[in-house]
Amino acid sequence: MTEPAAVLVIGATGTTGSRVVRGLVARGHRVRAASRSGALVPGAQGVRFDWYEHATHAPALDGTDRVYLVPPPACADPAGTMLPFLELARASGVRRAVLLSSSAIPAGGPAVGRVHRALPELFEEWAALRPSWFMQNFTGDHAHARSIREEGTIRTATGGGRVAFVDADDIADVAVHALTDARVPGTDLVVTGPAALGYDEVATILSEVGGRTVTHRHLTYEELRDRLALAMPVEFAAVLAGLDGDIAAGAEDRTTDTVLRVTGRRPRDFRTHVERAAAGAGTRRGPGPARPPRPGA
Protein backbone atom coordinates (compact mmCIF):
# COMPACT_ATOMS: atom_id res chain seq x y z
CA MET A 1 0.00 0.00 0.00
CA THR A 2 1.32 3.42 -0.92
CA GLU A 3 2.12 5.58 2.09
CA PRO A 4 0.08 8.82 2.23
CA ALA A 5 1.91 12.02 1.36
CA ALA A 6 3.40 14.00 4.21
CA VAL A 7 3.22 17.65 5.21
CA LEU A 8 6.58 19.42 5.15
CA VAL A 9 6.90 21.92 8.00
CA ILE A 10 9.76 24.35 7.53
CA GLY A 11 11.03 25.95 10.71
CA ALA A 12 9.80 22.90 12.63
CA THR A 13 11.70 23.79 15.80
CA GLY A 14 10.57 27.43 15.81
CA THR A 15 7.76 29.24 17.59
CA THR A 16 4.95 28.46 15.15
CA GLY A 17 6.54 25.53 13.32
CA SER A 18 6.93 23.40 16.45
CA ARG A 19 3.29 23.98 17.29
CA VAL A 20 2.17 23.20 13.74
CA VAL A 21 4.07 19.91 13.89
CA ARG A 22 2.38 18.96 17.17
CA GLY A 23 -1.04 19.88 15.83
CA LEU A 24 -0.60 17.85 12.65
CA VAL A 25 0.76 14.82 14.50
CA ALA A 26 -2.14 14.98 16.98
CA ARG A 27 -4.54 14.81 14.03
CA GLY A 28 -2.80 11.75 12.60
CA HIS A 29 -0.97 13.35 9.68
CA ARG A 30 2.48 12.31 8.47
CA VAL A 31 4.91 15.16 9.03
CA ARG A 32 8.40 15.90 7.78
CA ALA A 33 9.83 18.33 10.32
CA ALA A 34 12.42 20.47 8.56
CA SER A 35 15.13 22.40 10.38
CA ARG A 36 18.77 23.31 9.86
CA SER A 37 19.80 20.62 12.34
CA GLY A 38 17.35 17.99 11.09
CA ALA A 39 16.54 17.37 14.74
CA LEU A 40 14.11 14.62 15.65
CA VAL A 41 10.65 15.89 16.58
CA PRO A 42 8.25 13.59 18.49
CA GLY A 43 5.85 11.89 16.11
CA ALA A 44 7.47 13.37 12.99
CA GLN A 45 10.35 12.58 10.66
CA GLY A 46 13.18 15.06 11.14
CA VAL A 47 14.76 16.29 7.91
CA ARG A 48 17.59 18.73 7.36
CA PHE A 49 16.66 21.96 5.57
CA ASP A 50 18.48 25.25 5.13
CA TRP A 51 17.11 28.02 2.94
CA TYR A 52 20.66 28.87 1.87
CA GLU A 53 21.77 25.30 1.09
CA HIS A 54 19.96 24.30 -2.09
CA ALA A 55 21.18 20.71 -1.78
CA THR A 56 18.82 20.26 1.19
CA HIS A 57 15.70 21.37 -0.70
CA ALA A 58 14.81 18.41 -2.93
CA PRO A 59 15.39 15.75 -0.24
CA ALA A 60 13.17 17.66 2.19
CA LEU A 61 10.36 17.75 -0.37
CA ASP A 62 10.47 14.01 -1.06
CA GLY A 63 7.06 12.42 -0.49
CA THR A 64 5.25 15.64 0.44
CA ASP A 65 2.20 17.32 -1.05
CA ARG A 66 1.74 20.25 1.36
CA VAL A 67 4.20 22.66 2.91
CA TYR A 68 4.19 25.17 5.76
CA LEU A 69 6.57 27.99 4.89
CA VAL A 70 8.47 30.01 7.47
CA PRO A 71 10.70 32.60 5.72
CA PRO A 72 14.44 32.72 6.40
CA PRO A 73 15.04 34.76 9.56
CA ALA A 74 16.39 38.33 9.53
CA CYS A 75 16.18 38.51 5.74
CA ALA A 76 15.01 41.81 4.28
CA ASP A 77 14.20 40.27 0.87
CA PRO A 78 13.35 36.56 1.21
CA ALA A 79 11.71 36.24 -2.21
CA GLY A 80 15.00 35.62 -4.01
CA THR A 81 15.59 32.60 -1.80
CA MET A 82 12.03 31.32 -1.41
CA LEU A 83 10.60 31.58 -4.93
CA PRO A 84 13.04 29.11 -6.57
CA PHE A 85 12.25 26.66 -3.77
CA LEU A 86 8.51 27.07 -4.35
CA GLU A 87 8.95 26.39 -8.06
CA LEU A 88 10.85 23.23 -7.14
CA ALA A 89 8.09 22.30 -4.68
CA ARG A 90 5.41 22.61 -7.34
CA ALA A 91 7.45 20.51 -9.77
CA SER A 92 7.94 17.92 -7.01
CA GLY A 93 4.20 17.44 -6.48
CA VAL A 94 3.38 19.91 -3.71
CA ARG A 95 -0.19 21.07 -4.26
CA ARG A 96 -0.85 23.23 -1.19
CA ALA A 97 1.36 25.90 0.38
CA VAL A 98 0.66 27.86 3.56
CA LEU A 99 2.92 30.86 4.14
CA LEU A 100 3.68 32.53 7.45
CA SER A 101 3.71 36.24 6.66
CA SER A 102 2.77 39.25 8.80
CA SER A 103 -0.25 41.45 9.36
CA ALA A 104 2.06 44.38 8.62
CA ILE A 105 2.93 43.18 5.10
CA PRO A 106 0.26 42.85 2.38
CA ALA A 107 0.58 40.82 -0.82
CA GLY A 108 3.07 42.53 -3.08
CA GLY A 109 4.54 44.48 -0.19
CA PRO A 110 8.16 44.42 0.89
CA ALA A 111 10.03 41.34 2.10
CA VAL A 112 7.71 38.30 2.31
CA GLY A 113 4.95 40.27 0.55
CA ARG A 114 6.50 39.33 -2.80
CA VAL A 115 6.26 35.64 -1.89
CA HIS A 116 2.63 36.11 -0.85
CA ARG A 117 1.81 37.67 -4.20
CA ALA A 118 3.38 34.74 -6.08
CA LEU A 119 1.53 31.96 -4.22
CA PRO A 120 -1.67 31.87 -6.33
CA GLU A 121 0.41 31.75 -9.50
CA LEU A 122 2.34 28.74 -8.21
CA PHE A 123 -0.31 26.70 -6.37
CA GLU A 124 -4.01 26.13 -6.83
CA GLU A 125 -4.31 25.56 -3.08
CA TRP A 126 -2.72 28.20 -0.88
CA ALA A 127 -3.08 30.51 2.08
CA ALA A 128 -1.02 33.33 3.54
CA LEU A 129 -1.22 33.67 7.30
CA ARG A 130 -0.75 37.27 8.35
CA PRO A 131 -0.57 37.16 12.14
CA SER A 132 -0.25 40.21 14.30
CA TRP A 133 2.74 40.50 16.61
CA PHE A 134 3.34 37.47 18.81
CA MET A 135 2.48 37.39 22.51
CA GLN A 136 5.55 35.16 22.83
CA ASN A 137 7.70 38.19 22.01
CA PHE A 138 7.25 39.17 25.66
CA THR A 139 7.63 35.72 27.24
CA GLY A 140 9.93 33.74 24.93
CA ASP A 141 13.34 34.37 23.35
CA HIS A 142 12.63 37.63 21.53
CA ALA A 143 14.63 40.79 22.30
CA HIS A 144 11.61 42.21 24.18
CA ALA A 145 11.48 39.16 26.46
CA ARG A 146 15.21 39.31 27.17
CA SER A 147 15.02 43.01 27.96
CA ILE A 148 12.06 42.38 30.28
CA ARG A 149 13.89 39.64 32.14
CA GLU A 150 17.19 41.47 32.39
CA GLU A 151 16.11 45.10 32.82
CA GLY A 152 12.34 45.22 33.34
CA THR A 153 12.08 47.35 30.20
CA ILE A 154 10.37 47.22 26.80
CA ARG A 155 11.86 49.54 24.18
CA THR A 156 9.79 50.49 21.12
CA ALA A 157 9.15 53.32 18.71
CA THR A 158 5.41 52.59 18.71
CA GLY A 159 4.39 55.63 20.75
CA GLY A 160 0.76 55.20 21.77
CA GLY A 161 -0.01 52.76 18.96
CA ARG A 162 -1.98 49.61 19.70
CA VAL A 163 -1.56 46.00 18.56
CA ALA A 164 -3.91 43.01 18.82
CA PHE A 165 -1.13 40.64 19.95
CA VAL A 166 -1.79 36.98 19.13
CA ASP A 167 -0.73 33.75 20.83
CA ALA A 168 1.44 31.46 18.68
CA ASP A 169 -0.82 28.54 19.66
CA ASP A 170 -3.70 30.28 17.89
CA ILE A 171 -1.57 30.98 14.80
CA ALA A 172 -0.55 27.32 14.65
CA ASP A 173 -4.13 26.11 14.98
CA VAL A 174 -5.14 28.30 12.04
CA ALA A 175 -2.16 26.97 10.08
CA VAL A 176 -3.10 23.34 10.74
CA HIS A 177 -6.61 23.97 9.46
CA ALA A 178 -5.26 25.78 6.39
CA LEU A 179 -2.98 22.83 5.65
CA THR A 180 -5.51 20.05 6.18
CA ASP A 181 -9.10 21.25 5.75
CA ALA A 182 -10.85 20.00 2.64
CA ARG A 183 -11.66 23.57 1.68
CA VAL A 184 -8.47 25.54 1.19
CA PRO A 185 -8.59 29.23 2.17
CA GLY A 186 -7.18 30.52 -1.14
CA THR A 187 -6.62 33.93 0.43
CA ASP A 188 -4.75 35.72 3.16
CA LEU A 189 -5.84 35.32 6.78
CA VAL A 190 -5.12 38.19 9.17
CA VAL A 191 -4.77 36.50 12.57
CA THR A 192 -5.09 38.62 15.72
CA GLY A 193 -5.82 38.31 19.39
CA PRO A 194 -9.13 39.47 20.86
CA ALA A 195 -8.10 43.02 21.86
CA ALA A 196 -5.67 45.72 20.76
CA LEU A 197 -3.27 46.90 23.46
CA GLY A 198 -0.71 49.67 23.68
CA TYR A 199 2.77 48.79 24.91
CA ASP A 200 2.13 50.75 28.09
CA GLU A 201 -0.82 48.41 28.76
CA VAL A 202 1.39 45.41 27.96
CA ALA A 203 3.93 46.61 30.53
CA THR A 204 1.18 47.00 33.13
CA ILE A 205 -0.12 43.45 32.61
CA LEU A 206 3.41 42.01 32.72
CA SER A 207 4.02 43.92 35.98
CA GLU A 208 0.78 42.73 37.58
CA VAL A 209 1.22 39.09 36.62
CA GLY A 210 4.96 38.87 37.22
CA GLY A 211 5.02 40.85 40.47
CA ARG A 212 7.87 42.96 39.12
CA THR A 213 7.69 46.41 37.54
CA VAL A 214 8.03 46.47 33.76
CA THR A 215 8.20 49.83 31.98
CA HIS A 216 7.79 50.86 28.35
CA ARG A 217 10.57 53.12 27.14
CA HIS A 218 9.61 55.24 24.13
CA LEU A 219 12.35 55.49 21.48
CA THR A 220 12.57 57.40 18.22
CA TYR A 221 12.77 55.53 14.93
CA GLU A 222 16.49 56.32 14.69
CA GLU A 223 17.20 55.17 18.25
CA LEU A 224 15.42 51.88 17.70
CA ARG A 225 17.01 51.28 14.28
CA ASP A 226 20.51 51.85 15.64
CA ARG A 227 19.87 49.64 18.65
CA LEU A 228 18.56 46.78 16.50
CA ALA A 229 21.46 47.15 14.08
CA LEU A 230 23.81 45.99 16.83
CA ALA A 231 22.33 42.49 16.45
CA MET A 232 21.26 42.26 12.78
CA PRO A 233 21.94 43.72 9.31
CA VAL A 234 21.16 47.44 9.28
CA GLU A 235 18.72 46.98 6.36
CA PHE A 236 16.60 44.56 8.38
CA ALA A 237 16.89 46.78 11.48
CA ALA A 238 15.48 49.64 9.43
CA VAL A 239 12.56 47.48 8.29
CA LEU A 240 11.69 46.49 11.87
CA ALA A 241 12.01 50.03 13.18
CA GLY A 242 9.77 51.19 10.35
CA LEU A 243 7.13 48.67 11.40
CA ASP A 244 7.11 50.28 14.85
CA GLY A 245 6.43 53.58 13.11
CA ASP A 246 3.49 51.97 11.33
CA ILE A 247 2.13 50.80 14.69
CA ALA A 248 2.44 54.33 16.04
CA ALA A 249 0.37 55.50 13.08
CA GLY A 250 -2.41 52.99 13.87
CA ALA A 251 -1.72 50.31 11.26
CA GLU A 252 -2.14 47.41 13.73
CA ASP A 253 -5.06 48.79 15.75
CA ARG A 254 -7.61 46.18 14.64
CA THR A 255 -8.96 42.77 15.52
CA THR A 256 -10.28 39.98 13.30
CA ASP A 257 -12.48 36.93 13.81
CA THR A 258 -10.07 34.61 11.96
CA VAL A 259 -9.22 32.32 14.88
CA LEU A 260 -12.88 31.83 15.82
CA ARG A 261 -14.01 31.44 12.21
CA VAL A 262 -11.32 28.93 11.23
CA THR A 263 -10.88 26.92 14.45
CA GLY A 264 -14.27 27.32 16.13
CA ARG A 265 -12.84 28.76 19.35
CA ARG A 266 -11.93 32.22 20.56
CA PRO A 267 -8.31 33.40 20.59
CA ARG A 268 -6.42 33.63 23.88
CA ASP A 269 -6.14 37.07 25.49
CA PHE A 270 -2.82 38.58 26.52
CA ARG A 271 -3.27 38.38 30.28
CA THR A 272 -4.17 34.68 30.07
CA HIS A 273 -1.11 34.04 27.92
CA VAL A 274 1.19 35.76 30.42
CA GLU A 275 -0.38 33.89 33.34
CA ARG A 276 0.08 30.56 31.55
CA ALA A 277 3.67 31.40 30.70
CA ALA A 278 4.40 32.43 34.29
CA ALA A 279 2.84 29.23 35.65
CA GLY A 280 4.90 27.14 33.25
CA ALA A 281 8.10 28.89 34.34
CA GLY A 282 7.51 28.48 38.04
CA THR A 283 9.59 25.35 38.54
CA ARG A 284 12.20 26.17 35.90
CA ARG A 285 13.27 29.76 36.44
CA GLY A 286 13.73 32.49 38.99
CA PRO A 287 11.56 35.62 39.30
CA GLY A 288 10.32 37.51 36.28
CA PRO A 289 8.22 36.74 33.20
CA ALA A 290 8.37 33.23 31.81
CA ARG A 291 10.35 31.85 28.95
CA PRO A 292 8.60 29.20 26.88
CA PRO A 293 9.74 28.63 23.32
CA ARG A 294 9.29 33.32 17.69
CA PRO A 295 8.82 36.32 14.68
CA GLY A 296 8.44 38.40 15.93
CA ALA A 297 5.69 39.33 13.59
The percent of residues in the chain predicted with pLDDT above 70, rounded, is 94
The pLDDT, as a whole number, for residue 291 is 28
Nearest to 16 by CA among 168, 118, 139, 148: 168
The pLDDT, as a whole number, for residue 254 is 97
Give the pLDDT band of residue 295 (cuts 50, 70, 90): very low
Where in the sequence is the domain holding 150, given as residue range(s)? 135-163+194-254+266-281
Together in a domain, 125 and 214: no
Give counts: helices (H), strands (E), the chain. 11, 11
Angle subtended at Cα 73 by Cα 175 and Cα 100, rounded to the nearest 5 degrees: 20
Give the pLDDT band of residue 280 (cuts 50, 70, 90): confident
Average pLDDT over residues 42-67: 96
The pLDDT, as a whole number, for residue 142 is 87
The percent of residues in the chain predicted with pLDDT above 90, rounded, is 84
Together in a domain, 89 and 156: no
Average pLDDT over residues 196-222: 97
Q: Is the dihedral of CA 236, 168, 254, 154 positive or negative?
A: negative
Q: How many structural domains are present in the chain? A: 2
Together in a domain, 208 and 124: no
Together in a domain, 21 and 125: yes
- What digits encode the pLDDT tens for the residues 113-148? 999 999 999 999 999 999 999 999 999 888 899 999
The model's pTM is 0.90
Q: What is the CATH number of the domain that holds 117?
A: 3.40.50.720
Average pLDDT of the chain, as a whole number: 91
The pLDDT, as a whole number, for residue 281 is 61
The pLDDT, as a whole number, for residue 2 is 60
At residue 290, does pLDDT exceed 80? no
The answer to whether residue 288 is domain-embedded is: no
The answer to whether residue 207 is domain-embedded is: yes
Together in a domain, 250 and 272: yes
The answer to whether residue 11 is domain-embedded is: yes
Average pLDDT over residues 190-218: 97
The answer to whether residue 1 is domain-embedded is: no
Give the pLDDT band of residue 283 (cuts 50, 70, 90): very low
| 3-state secondary structure labels for all residues of 98-138 | EEECCCCCCCCCCCCHHHHHHHHHHCCEEEEEEECCEHHHH
Together in a domain, 176 and 232: no
Give the pLDDT band of residue 251 (cuts 50, 70, 90): very high
Query: In this structure, are strands 6-10 and 64-69 parallel, antiparallel, or unpaired?
Result: parallel
